[in-house]
């Protein structure tokens, strides 16, 4: 059994003597009637060797695919060695929130650099230190745009269902009312938007690229949204922003999204990294931890947790969010990834996905998987399937390939990244031919 305790029996006796108490009396303030009068019904502790064997056996029950053609909110990317090596430094791993600035400049600076990366990719003026994931980032963004007379939020149905569901939960007890706008042919059209915009609209939320991989006409949607006096929230994968025009340049007031693609493994859904960034106009409404630059008493540059007047430990029930942590280690990991890749590397990762997705789509088309939405897409796209989507999944699984996500009985959402080469895509096509011809 592992215990991680240090004090010996002799030390324990010394301590009890110093306190003037017997060990059995340590918990006397708990009424005896309430006490658990039996051991916790769990197995006895195991040694490190035994635990590792048990955990390895569990890990081996999970199927790890060699080719992954699925995204839909969690993408498989190459993670350079330097990312894992640096992000597992114990000074970063075993520290807590940098409350003592003088003692935590390393953590604070890493977050400041992360915020700077996010601002540069999104074009925004300020970012927070991150939140739990993309879905919660989107849900927190809703709170930022509510105004006394504007409580209605319009969300395109091309935003990820996980994100929309999270927003519905977050707003279930709030004043915000959510309207889901129907897309046509994969994207939101201006006539649908115009029909719903009113003086009560607080914001429009769209994803770009959206859940189906399609590129929305952000500039146009932005113009109509702003003409109605509402804000635009864009949900974007930051990796694609090394290639695509930034949300700010398209007119967004708030950019949020899931940054898992920046160096975090898929890990069955978490931990991930929700980013939030906005313009100077809304910066004091950003929730969560924020790191700012300041000076120390000798005039040296220093970093510190700032704008705390918004936060729960000061405002308690008047705070609009109860966030009191961030995904600091994930933010650091993303920053290391961005630094290691650099602007050129990031763009190349994005472009590999873009090129290979388009190549794969054309090859799929030839064997009967028809592109569902005839609009520009990035590295994800939806096709119809000549046989049941689940049958495709089972067939490819035999070859150690994770197929795209089945989103309807005969529809598949594919995702291609830099991890799958053209030769491998050709291989996938040859396996698919076995069942389509």
- Interactions with other proteins, residue window 341-370 (CB under 8 A): 341-349, 351-352, 354-356, 358-359
Say if CB 412 and CB 71 are below 8 A apart: no
Shortest distance in whole angstroms from residue 232 CB to other proteins? 16
Alpha carbon distance 218, 198 (integer Å): 19
- Could you say which residues in the range 175-214 bind other proteins, by CB under 8 A? none
Which is nearer to other proteins, 85 or 198 (by Cβ)? 85
Shortest distance in whole angstroms from residue 203 CB to other proteins? 18
Which is nearer to other proteins, 229 or 340 (by Cβ)? 340
Say if CB 104 and CB 437 are below 8 A apart: no
Q: Site for other proteins (CB under 8 A): which residue of 181, 204, 236, 244?
A: 244
Q: Site for other proteins (CB under 8 A): which residue of 183, 225, 246, 417?
A: 246
Say if CB 420 and CB 410 are below 8 A apart: no
Q: Site for other proteins (CB under 8 A): which residue of 126, 213, 247, 257?
A: 126
Which is nearer to other proteins, 64 or 149 (by Cβ)? 64
From 397, 351, 360, select the one nearest 381 (Cα to Cα).
360
- Could you say which residues in the range 75-114 bind other proteins, by CB under 8 A? 76, 80, 82, 84-86, 88-107, 109-113
Alpha carbon distance 290, 128 (integer Å): 5
* Residue 427 touches other proteins, criterion: CB under 8 A: no
* Residue 157 touches other proteins, criterion: CB under 8 A: no
> What is the helix (H) or strand (E) element at residue 155, kind and residue range?
strand 152-156
Shortest distance in whole angstroms from residue 200 CB to other proteins? 20
Say if CB 425 and CB 358 are below 8 A apart: no
| 353 phi, psi to nearest 5 deg | -60, -45
Q: Site for other proteins (CB under 8 A): which residue of 132, 212, 373, 414?
A: 132
Shortest distance in whole angstroms from residue 141 CB to other proteins? 14
Instruction: Name the β-bridge partners of 301.
Output: 295
Q: Site for other proteins (CB under 8 A): which residue of 68, 256, 334, 382?
A: 68
Alpha-carbon Rg for the chain, nearest whole angstrom, is 25
Binding marks (x or -) toward other proteins, 263..292, rule CB under 8 A?
A: --xxxxxxxx----------x-----xxxx
* Residue 53 touches other proteins, criterion: CB under 8 A: no
**CA dihedral defined by 411, 417, 422, 424, rounded to 10 degrees?**
-70
Q: Site for other proteins (CB under 8 A): which residue of 9, 148, 149, 173?
A: 173
CA-CA-CA-CA torsion sign (100, 104, 110, 116): positive
From 128, 131, 140, select the one nearest 307 (Cα to Cα).
128
Shortest distance in whole angstroms from residue 229 CB to other proteins? 25
> What is the helix (H) or strand (E) element at residue 231, kind and residue range?
strand 231-235
């Amino acid at each position: 059994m592992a215990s991680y305790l240090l004090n010996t029996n002799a030390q324990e006796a010394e301590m009890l003597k110093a306190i003037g108490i017997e060990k059995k009396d340590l918990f006397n303030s708990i009424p005896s009637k309430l006490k658990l009068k039996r051991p916790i019904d769990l197995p006895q502790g195991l040694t490190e060797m035994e635990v590792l064997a048990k955990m390895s056996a569990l890990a081996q029950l999970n199927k790890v695919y060699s080719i992954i053609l699925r995204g839909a909110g969690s993408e498989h990317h190459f993670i350079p060695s330097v990312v894992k090596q640096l992000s597992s430094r114990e000074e970063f791993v075993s520290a807590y929130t940098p409350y003592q600035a003088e003692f935590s400049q390393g953590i604070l600076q890493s977050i400041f650099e992360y915020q700077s990366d996010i601002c540069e990719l999104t074009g925004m003026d300020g970012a927070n230190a991150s939140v739990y994931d993309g879905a919660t980032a989107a849900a927190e963004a809703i709170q930022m745009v509510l105004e006394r007379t504007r409580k209605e939020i319009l969300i395109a149905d091309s935003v990820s269902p996980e994100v929309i569901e999270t927003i519905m939960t977050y707003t279930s007890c709030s004043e915000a009312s959510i309207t889901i706008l129907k897309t046509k042919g994969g994207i939101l059209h201006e006539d649908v938007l115009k029909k719903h915009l009113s003086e009560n609209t607080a914001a429009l939320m769209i994803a770009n690229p959206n859940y189906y991989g399609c590129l929305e006409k952000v500039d146009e949607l932005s113009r109509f949204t702003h003409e109605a006096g509402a804000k635009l929230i864009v949900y974007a994968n930051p990796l694609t922003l090394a290639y695509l025009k930034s949300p700010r340049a398209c007119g967004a007031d708030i950019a949020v999204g899931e940054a898992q693609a920046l160096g975090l493994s898929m890990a069955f859904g978490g931990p991930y990294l929700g980013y939030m960034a906005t313009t100077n106009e809304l910066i004091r409404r950003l929730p969560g931890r924020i790191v700012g630059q300041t000076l120390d008493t000798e005039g040296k540059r220093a970093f510190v947790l700032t704008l705390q007047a918004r936060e729960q430990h000061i405002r308690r029930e008047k705070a609009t969010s109860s966030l009191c942590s961030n995904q600091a280690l994930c933010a650091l990991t993303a920053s290391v990834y961005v630094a290691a890749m650099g602007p050129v590397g990031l763009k190349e990762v994005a472009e590999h996905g873009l090129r290979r997705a388009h190549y794969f789509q054309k090859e799929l088309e030839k064997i009967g998987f028809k592109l569902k939405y005839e609009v520009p897409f990035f590295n994800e796209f939806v096709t119809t399937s000549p046989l049941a989507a689940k049958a495709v999944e089972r067939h490819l699984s035999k070859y150690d390939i994770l197929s795209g996500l089945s989103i309807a009985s005969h529809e598949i959402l594919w995702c291609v990244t830099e991890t799958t080469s053209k030769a491998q895509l050709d291989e996938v096509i040859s396996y698919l031919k076995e069942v389509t011809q």
